[in-house]
Amino acid sequence: MQKTAVQPRQSVAMMQSRRRENIAGYLFMAPSLLFFLGFVVFPMVMCLVYSFTDYTMTSFSFSGFANYQRMFQDAIFGKALWNTIILVLISVPVTCFFSLWAASIISKLHDRTTSFFRCVFYLPVVTGSVAVTVISRNMNWLGDASTALGCIITILLTTSVGQPIVLYVSALNNVDQSLVEAASVDGATNLQTFWRIKWPQIMPTTLYILVITTINSFQCFALIQLLTSGGPNHATETIMYYIYYNAFKLQSYGYGSAMGIILALIIAAFSALQFKVAQTDNG
Amino acid sequence: MSDNIAAIQKKMQRKQANTGGDHSVHQITPYEIAALVVLIIIAILFIFPLYWIITGSFKNAQDVIAKVPVWFPLQPTIDNYQRLFARPAVRWLGNTVFLCAMSMALTCVSASMGGYALAKKKFAGRTIVFSIFVCAMALPKQVILIPLLKEMAFLKLHNTLWAVILPTVGWPFGVFLMKQFSETIPESLLEAARIDGAGEARTFVEIVLPIIKPGIGALAIFTFITAWNDYFLQLIMLNDTDVLTISLGIAKLQSELSNDFGLIMAGAALGSIPIIIIFLLFQKFFTRGITMGAVKG
């Protein structure tokens, strides 16, 4: 008898507390959700919608997959895609390898020296692309179609190693020291210790760095816009710059949006692939 | 006095013991010396652009374009800065600071509340909301600029600094970072506050905020620097000379007066020195923020 009397009361109290939790949760979420939905999610959805239209300054009507078909026949888009992939395939491994190498050296130094190096390598990220381009814009190599992309990649590298180095330094400092010592007692060489002990432990960091570097390299824009405008003869055309050119110079909003969707899909595919590879590596 | 000295000696001994402990197993190999030398050379290359910009901004008209590089301005001049300030450079700098400070403040407020809710409030749909936030982070930010431009035009915000501030605040990274920090709040503290009868708002201000303060510091400096350098978004949203940021201003000088190197260098110096100072001052927060944001939860 007592039991039946207590239980409904308890569940009413639970429902009340759950309701309170819901209301409080959404009230706390409200400001960030408002900004997020209004200025990130809504434009994303609209981007998808635009990609199926022939949206320009003068027209706005649905055109099905016309934009996507046009992309396949667009030689410059092909060139831009090719350049972007080269840029990603070079800059991502080089960035990851260099930052791991640099971090493995500077993480062994004294705290002050470590933070000095960390700052120096972060400098180009802080000052931004505009400052970097101010001094490199008159390089002759940028005007030559055969060397221009190489130049862009080199400059891109300087602006992209900062964050990975910071991440690797802290990951390497967090590696379980007792394992490292045990390995060296067992007579493992430095290289063996690195691959067998440290590498598996910093794997999550590596994965994160791969993903963010890939995303950033795919979106390489400011350097191109400031230095070469995609030239000479489309030698440095990247997808991001071509999207900008179509959407904001030619006002082909529909076509630009469709390319944006394709770029997002490519980046998603690359990230998924990296997760998959990293998982099989671990397991 | 002698007590003090003894304490200091003790401390130093301990410190020596500590570093000795770390390095006793470790001998410096020739490889490491070579690697350090290479690293120092690369570090100089990284600092060089900044050195070149700052010294260049004080060079006179002949030195700045000299075929044989002039490594140091022997006859320093502030001519370049006078020409820079004859343009609305101060205005551009002011715009940039306003834009960054506003983005920072709004992001910190909304993200600390949102991150706390995602970490500690078991509201219905929490997992879905969080998944959407994480997915959005992996998408290329710039792809949404076309619809965003139309949206801002519709809201009559195009060509105002708000057109840059609002999307910056909406970007999900902040909420994600603050969720990571909020996870560390002990449940027992929240429970105790509830038993004491503290309301939601009071619990947030008096219990949650003090604990996640380092996180807010990290997010603040991170947002400030990101907003300062978000060139693409600024380029799309801001056109009028009055609303330009310092990055856009320098880019404009570069395209309009590409021969006046001294002026461009002065502009670049004005655009990078304030943000470098801010970065150096808050470096500690920054490192922690980057690292926390990477630990995927």
ipTM of the complex: 0.84
CATH number at residue A78: 1.10.3720.10
CB crowding A144-182: b at 16 or more within 10 Å, else e:
eeeebbbbbbbbbbbbbbbbbbbbbbbbbeebeeeebee
Residue of B nearest to A22 (CA): B123
Nearest by CB to B126, which of A25, A240, A244? Answer: A25
Domain annotation covers residue A60: no
pLDDT at A141 over 90: no
Please tell me whether residues A274 and A156 are part of one structural domain.
Answer: yes
pLDDT, tens digit, for every residue of B233-281? 999 999 998 999 999 998 888 888 877 888 888 999 999 999 999 988 8
Please tell me whether residues A45 and A102 are part of one structural domain.
Answer: no
Please tell me whether residues B79 and B195 are part of one structural domain.
Answer: no
Q: Can you give the three-state secondary structure of A72-119, one letter per residue?
A: HHCHHHHHHHHHHHHHHHHHHHHHHHHHHHHHHHHCCCCHHHHHHHHH
Contact A247 B49 (CB under 8 A): no
Please tell me whether residues B288 and B189 are part of one structural domain.
Answer: yes
Of residues A117 and B25, the one with the higher pLDDT is A117
Residue B174 contacts A where some CB pair is shorter than 8 Å: yes
Contact B296 A215 (CB under 8 A): no
Please tell me whether residues A87 and A211 are part of one structural domain.
Answer: yes
Please tell me whether residues B149 and B217 are part of one structural domain.
Answer: yes
Task: Tell me which chain A residues have a C-beta less than 8 angstroms from the C-beta of B295.
Answer: 204
Distance CA A265, CA A279 (A): 21
Chain B window 190-219: which residues touch A at a Cβ cutoff of 8 Å?
200, 204
- Give me A154's structure tokens: 């080199």
Full residue range of the structural domain in which residue A36 is found: 1-50
Domain annotation covers residue A161: yes
Domain annotation covers residue A225: yes
Residue B146 contacts A where some CB pair is shorter than 8 Å: yes
Please tell me whether residues A18 and A80 are part of one structural domain.
Answer: no
Domain annotation covers residue A260: yes
pLDDT at B2 over 50: no
Contact by Cβ (8 Å): B140, A263: yes
Nearest to A151 by CA among A87, A213, A215, A100: A87
Please tell me whether residues A264 and A203 are part of one structural domain.
Answer: yes
Distance CA A276, CA A209 (A): 15
Contact A215 B268 (CB under 8 A): no
Contact B275 A44 (CB under 8 A): no
Distance CA A237, CA A221 (A): 10
Mean pLDDT of chain A: 86
Task: Tell me which chain B residues have a C-beta less than 8 angstroms from the C-beta of A244.
Answer: 142, 232
pLDDT at B1 over 60: no
DSSP, collapsed to helix, strand or coil, labels residue B24 as: coil
Domain annotation covers residue A172: yes
pLDDT band at A147 (very low <50, low <70, confident <90, very high): confident
Mean pLDDT of chain B: 84
Please tell me whether residues B139 and B284 are part of one structural domain.
Answer: yes
Omega into A31 within 30° of 0, i.e. cis? no
CB crowding A92-117: b at 16 or more within 10 Å, else e:
bebbbebbbebbbbbbbbeeeebbeb
Contact A128 B167 (CB under 8 A): no
Contact B264 A267 (CB under 8 A): no
Please tell me whether residues A36 and A118 are part of one structural domain.
Answer: no
How many cross-chain Cβ pairs, A to B, lie less than 8 Å apart? 247
Best mean pLDDT range from A16-20, A100-104, A141-145? A100-104
CA angle (A216 as vertex; A215, A222 as ends), nearest 5: 140
Please tell me whether residues B71 and B134 are part of one structural domain.
Answer: no
Nearest by CB to B46, which of A106, A123, A135? Answer: A123
Q: Among B83, B109, B139, give the residue marking a domain's end.
A: B83
Contact A128 B229 (CB under 8 A): yes
Please tell me whether residues A201 and A250 are part of one structural domain.
Answer: yes
Residue of B nearest to A41 (CA): B136
Q: Which residue has the tokens 């600024």?
A: B234
Q: Among B61, B83, B105, give the residue marking a domain's end.
A: B83
Domain count, chain A: 2
Give the model's pLDDT for residue A9: 63
Full residue range of the structural domain in which residue B139 is found: 89-294
Mark out the alpha helices in B121-208 (DSSP H runs).
126-138, 145-154, 162-170, 173-182, 187-195, 200-203
Tell me what the mean pLDDT of segment A245-271 comes to.
90
Smallest Cα distance from A238 to chain B, Å: 13
Tell me what the mean pLDDT of segment A213-220 comes to.
87
pLDDT, tens digit, for every residue of A16-56? 888 888 898 999 999 999 999 999 999 999 999 999 998 88
Give the bridge partners for A62, in sequence order: A53
Phi and psi at residue A53, in whole multiples of 5°? -125, 165
pLDDT at B141 over 50: yes
% chain B with pLDDT above 90 = 38
Please tell me whether residues A39 and A129 are part of one structural domain.
Answer: no
pLDDT band at A58 (very low <50, low <70, confident <90, very high): confident
pLDDT at B123 over 70: yes
Contact B147 A257 (CB under 8 A): yes
Chain A window 73-132: which residues touch B at a Cβ cutoff of 8 Å?
101-102, 105-106, 108, 115, 117-132
Give the model's pLDDT for residue A108: 84
Distance CA A153, CA A166 (A): 21
Please tell me whether residues B209 and B71 are part of one structural domain.
Answer: no
Nearest to B114 by CA among A18, A20, A33: A33
Please tell me whether residues B109 and B77 are part of one structural domain.
Answer: no
Please tell me whether residues A36 and A70 are part of one structural domain.
Answer: no
Please tell me whether residues B38 and B141 are part of one structural domain.
Answer: no
Please tell me whether residues A201 and A232 are part of one structural domain.
Answer: yes
Q: Among B18, B49, B83, give the residue marking a domain's end.
A: B83
Tell me what the mean pLDDT of segment B26-33 comes to.
77
pLDDT band at A255 (very low <50, low <70, confident <90, very high): very high
pLDDT, tens digit, for every residue of B40-88? 999 998 998 889 889 888 988 777 777 777 788 888 888 889 888 988 9
Domain annotation covers residue A70: yes
Please tell me whether residues A19 and A113 are part of one structural domain.
Answer: no
CATH number at residue B110: 1.10.3720.10
Task: Tell me which chain A residues have a C-beta less than 8 angstroms from the C-beta of B267.
Answer: 134
CB atoms within 10 A of CB A143: 14
Nearest by CB to B294, which of A124, A167, A253? Answer: A167
Domain count, chain B: 2
Please tell me whether residues B173 and B272 are part of one structural domain.
Answer: yes
CB atoms within 10 A of CB A60: 12
Task: Tell me which chain B residues have a C-beta less than 8 angstroms from the C-beta of A202.
Answer: none
- Give me A31's structure tokens: 């400001």
pLDDT at B180 over 50: yes
Nearest by CB to B231, which of A44, A126, A128? Answer: A128
pLDDT band at B110 (very low <50, low <70, confident <90, very high): very high
Chain A window 47-76: which residues touch B at a Cβ cutoff of 8 Å?
47, 50
Nearest to B226 by CA among B139, B94, B96, B95: B96
Distance CA B187, CA B200 (A): 14
Beta-carbon contacts of residue B88 (< 8 Å; ≥ 6 apart): B241, B242, B244, B249
pLDDT band at B108 (very low <50, low <70, confident <90, very high): very high
Contact B268 A28 (CB under 8 A): no
Domain annotation covers residue A94: yes
Give the model's pLDDT for residue B163: 95
Please tell me whether residues A106 and A29 are part of one structural domain.
Answer: no
Residue B12 CB burial class (10 angstroms; 0-12, 13-18, ≥19): exposed
Nearest by CB to B276, which of A36, A117, A126? Answer: A126
Give the model's pLDDT for residue A139: 67
Give the model's pLDDT for residue A84: 93
